[in-house]
Amino acid sequence: MVLPDQDFWRGKRVLLTGHTGFKGSWLALWLHRLGAQVVGLSLPPATAPNLFDLAQVGNSIDHGVCDIRDAAALKKQVEEARPEVVLHLAAQALVRAGYREPVDTFATNVMGTAHLLDALRGLDSVRSVVVVTTDKVYRNNEWTYPYREDDALGGHDPYSASKAAAELVVASYRASFLQAQGVAVATARAGNVIGGGDWAEDRLVPDAVRAWLAGRPLEIRRPEAIRPWQHVLEPLAAYLVLAERLWRAPELAGAYNFGPATHEAATVRTVVQQAQTVFPQGEVLWGDGSQGPHEAGWLALEVAKARTALGVAPRWSLTTSVQRTLDWYRRQGGGADARSLCLADIEAFESAVS
């Protein structure tokens, strides 16, 4: 797999939205390691504990608080930052939270994206923009082949639908304004990431860690659901490489899937059983798939476009990803420094043979 180019990122002015979140914190640390000048815009961290505070991410970047639903405030801060590259990760990112708060989910994921892109209109500093959506943007037909970038968008639940709508917003702004302005804009569709430092609700690994550290069994609603699991560093590396390629070849603007090879998509049961090899004391209560609101049973992505157009391919197997993730939590829970653990994982990822 092609890795991020330090020569490209050194000194680049980068606007990173959502930098206080799980993926955003990891990405901020990596960008700082690459020598970028990062301005982060986000709401305060949504959980306690959280990776942003534990890894002292705010010490490495220009940390700004902004609600992307506030168009005027966002525009002001974007203009002050004068970014050359924009990485848009800010979002309401949870399926079940979308069921509870559908209007806020649409406001953040659809209008927040529109507000950001509108703030870039007429801004002569920016050249490359990556908008992160999700692997759940496709109209899920529960068929047995992976979704390609030109398959129909959809979304049964509010979160998925809001991200599909964000894809349409991006395509419209690209065609109507930004392409003519010389700004290359792409969307990145990835999901089901695992990695140390995620404490969000209703996510498999954080739920497992919370339950097992407290001596409780982990309750699994849909053990046979299949997802394209990957370590958080896999899509983050892809976002960075995509931004670089857009800068050098703006004709590559468009949508990209990022994930493991199709045959490496795995069931929830498989991931949990691999996690139990690191937490052998962890107990599980397996559900029968009927609990909770609707969620897709089978989801996999075709990633040939990313491989052929960008040179992006996975570096870590599912087994490695699960082991490194659970080891991160064990070591951090034992007193290890979160920032050092993240940087060690980034270094190991960069050194891996793909």
Task: Give the tens place of pLDDT for each residue, 231-265.
Answer: 999 999 999 999 999 999 999 999 999 999 888 88
Quickly count: other Cβ atoms within 10 Å of residue 248's Cβ.
Answer: 12
For residue 59 the two structure tokens come to 């010490």
Question: Distance of alpha carbon 253 from its chain centroid, rounded?
Answer: 19
Average pLDDT over residues 68-84: 98
C-alpha dihedral (119, 122, 127, 129), degrees to nearest 10: 20
Band of residue 295 on the pLDDT scale cut at 50, 70, 90: low
The pLDDT, as a whole number, for residue 354 is: 53
Separation CA 178–CA 26 (nearest Å): 28
Q: Name which of 175, 137, 308 is nearest 253 in CA terms.
A: 175
pLDDT digits (tens, 9 = 90+) for 86-141: 999 999 988 889 999 999 999 999 999 999 999 999 999 999 999 999 999 999 88
Question: Taking a C-beta distance cutoff of 8 angstroms, is the pair 147, 164 a contact?
Answer: no
pLDDT digits (tens, 9 = 90+) for 302-323: 999 999 999 999 999 999 999 9
Range of lowest pLDDT (45-59, 175-189, 284-298): 284-298
What percent of the chain has a predicted confidence (pLDDT) above 70? 97
State pTM to two decimals: 0.95
C-alpha dihedral (151, 155, 159, 163), degrees to nearest 10: 30
Which residues touch 349 (CB under 8 Å, ≥6 apart)? 231, 233, 237, 315, 316
Region of residue 280 (phi > 0: left; psi between -120 and 50: alpha; otherwise: beta): alpha
The pLDDT, as a whole number, for residue 294 is: 55
How high is the mean pLDDT of the chain?
94
Range of lowest pLDDT (80-89, 141-150, 177-186, 328-337): 141-150
Band of residue 292 on the pLDDT scale cut at 50, 70, 90: low
Q: Which residue has the higher pLDDT, 69 or 287?
A: 69
Question: Distance of alpha carbon 25 from its chain centroid, rounded?
Answer: 11
Go through the domains of the chain in sequence order and give each one's CATH number: 6-351 (3.40.50.720)
Band of residue 289 on the pLDDT scale cut at 50, 70, 90: low
Average pLDDT over residues 184-190: 98
Average pLDDT over residues 6-27: 98
pLDDT digits (tens, 9 = 90+) for 41-61: 999 999 999 999 999 999 999
pLDDT digits (tens, 9 = 90+) for 161-171: 999 999 999 99
pLDDT digits (tens, 9 = 90+) for 190-220: 988 999 999 998 899 999 999 998 999 999 9
3-state SS, one letter per residue, for the chain: CCCCCHHHHCCCEEEEECCCCHHHHHHHHHHHHHCCEEEEEECCCCCCCCHHHHCCHHHCCEEEECCCCCHHHHHHHHHHHCCCEEEECCCCCCHHHHHHCHHHHHHHHHHHHHHHHHHHCCCCCCCEEEEECCHHHECCCCCCCCECCCCCECCCCHHHHHHHHHHHHHHHHHHHHHCCCCCEEEEEECCCEECCCCCCCCCHHHHHHHHHHCCCCEEECCCCCEECCEECHHHHHHHHHHHHHHHHCHHHCCEEECCCCHHHCEEHHHHHHHHHHHCCCCCEEECCCCCCCCCCCECCECCHHHHHHHCCCCCCCHHHHHHHHHHHHHHHHCCCCHHHHHHHHHHHHHHCCC
